[in-house]
Amino acid sequence: MAEQSIIEQVSVQEKVVAFTFDDGPHPVYTPQVLDIFRRAGGHATFFMIGEEMEAHPDIAAEVHRAGHEIANHTYTHPNLTELTLEEAGEELRRAEQLVQKVTGGSARSFRPPYFGVNDDILALAAERGYRTIGAANGAARDWDNPGTQHIVEHSRSAVKPGSVLIFHDGYGDRSQTVEAVRVLVEELTADGYRLVTVSELLDM
């Protein structure tokens, strides 16, 4: 079996970038993100938590309707490396059921909460048909609310064609993130970048 690894960057010729959003859907911030991408004519990938999908099914459905990708971010957001493989598998399975319910299809990718993976988790994800997705702009640390400017600068410096960028639209106040994403989307589209989903990026 091929060596599994976390994908943060895909080698492509074209100016494309994949924005990803973790921990939603959220009734306040997810619609704001959708609005940014609608105006820009781009798409993103939402790594949703199963429990949040159950709490806000209408917003999950709205994300799918708008043409964005929904991917697996587990059911309860544990560090999978601290669970048994059976428990980790159950986390993926329960989230996958909800993705299928909303989209009618299977999730193609998975992001481990806290980037918590080891070889067993990578193999488990691969067995389920997932690519495991990381991020090129981890230094932006938007989950810590370090300020809009920090998020923008540390994401901007990580961007090159084929980059996967991580942001959060759930769990807490995400207004800094939304503002940073607004700035980055405007800059990147003005610079000729297309905003694509993770699956589109992997298919290129």
Q: CA 197 to CA 3: how far, in whole Å?
A: 24
Marked catalytic residue, from 22, 23, 142, 169: 22
Does residue 169 carry a catalytic annotation? Answer: no
Q: Tell me if residue 56 is catalytic.
A: no
Q: Which of 43, 142, 168, 169 is catalytic?
A: 168
Angle at 196 between CA 44 and CA 173, to 5 degrees: 25
Say whether 119 sits in a helix, a strand or coil: helix
How does DSSP assign 59-112, residue by residue? HHHHHHHTT-EEEE--SS---GGGS-HHHHHHHHHHHHHHHHHHHSS---EE--
Residue 200's Cβ-count burial label (10 Å; 0-12, 13-18, 19+) is: middle
Reading the block at residue 139, the tokens are 């230094």
Residues marked as catalytic: 22, 168
